[in-house]
Amino acid sequence: MRFEAGVVYRELTGFRPLELDLYSPDDPVATVVYLHGGGWRRGSRRRPVVPGCFERLVAEGFAVATVDYRLSGEATFPAPLEDVLVALDHLRRPAFLLGESAGAHLALLAALTGSSPVLGVVAWFPPTDLLAMPAGPTSREAGLLGAAPHDVPELARAASPVAHVHAAAPPVLLLHGDNDNLVPAEHSVRMAEGLRSAGAPVELELVPGAGHMWLDADTESIMDQSVTFLRRLAAPPKR
């Protein structure tokens, strides 16, 4: 496995350089771009919620790019989405997106609204409708938007993946704990319903008893389902 650390993919005046790390097997079947969680205000590209996630993906033949984006203390929406889209352009190859929580939110938005080709999305416990969150002026959502969602409803809708579903969306796998008290599973249920209604390919799995950040979940099973989905899409078509 080759490892390239701290590759600068974007430099903006007044901000820290934005970096990605790249883990590569000898002959990758495809690239997975990982987006970390942390409520848009914290988190690290090097600390996935499932330990060993990157190594498992590389062992399955995927290159993995783990990406920084501007946090809400640095810039408000759409800044982090813009960063993700620039990172995808920087890689110069179609990629899958895998995100957790806030990172899953950005992964869905990038796949649904961006111009870079996305092969598919694995979204772990994503917030998909910011107006459905009980978010006050000091909430994570308010930090992302610069105001409480209900005070800026048009911006909140623009930042909500459920508002951007369309038939040409890439395949999406939604995995969400049915005991998630921070981002209720209804967010993934409504996202799946919207994609299905639009005619887009989507799979939804509610994980019994699991909370946010995969609390009380079998993370090996989570990885198995995610890898199976990615490998099925990455497999070359049979002739």
Mean pLDDT (whole number) for 221-229 = 98
Report the pLDDT value the prediction gives residue 238, as an integer from 0 to 100: 52
User: What's the token pair of residue 125?
Assistant: 């416990």
Dihedral (Cα; 120, 135, 210, 45), 10-degree rounding: 50
Dihedral (Cα; 178, 184, 190, 195), 10-degree rounding: -80
d(CA 229, CA 174): 11
- CB proximity list for 199: less than 8 A, separation 6 or greater: 167
CB atoms within 10 A of CB 111: 26
The SS3 assignment for 72 reads: coil
Angle (deg, nearest 10), helices 79-91 and 102-113: 70
Percent of the chain with pLDDT over 90: 95
Q: Where are the alpha helices (DSSP H) in the chain?
A: 53-59, 79-91, 102-113, 140-145, 153-158, 186-198, 219-234
The domains found in the chain, sorted by start residue, are 2-234 (3.40.50.1820)
The one-character DSSP state at 196 is: H
What type of residue is 161?
A: P
Report the pLDDT value the prediction gives residue 237, as an integer from 0 to 100: 52
User: What's the token pair of residue 96?
Assistant: 């899958």
CB atoms within 10 A of CB 90: 17
Report the pLDDT value the prediction gives residue 236, as an integer from 0 to 100: 62
The SS3 assignment for 180 reads: coil
Mean pLDDT (whole number) for 118-146 = 96
The SS3 assignment for 150 reads: helix
Q: Report pLDDT digits (tens) over 130-143.
A: 999 988 899 999 99
Mean pLDDT (whole number) for 21-34 = 97
pTM metric for this prediction = 0.97
Environment class of 14 (CB within 10 Å of its CB; exposed 0-12, middle 13-18, buried 19+): exposed
> How many residues are recorded in the chain?
239
Percent of the chain with pLDDT over 70: 98
Instruction: Please state, rounded to an integer, the average pLDDT across all residues of the chain.
Output: 96
| Residue 183 in this model has a pLDDT that exceeds 80 | yes
Environment class of 230 (CB within 10 Å of its CB; exposed 0-12, middle 13-18, buried 19+): buried
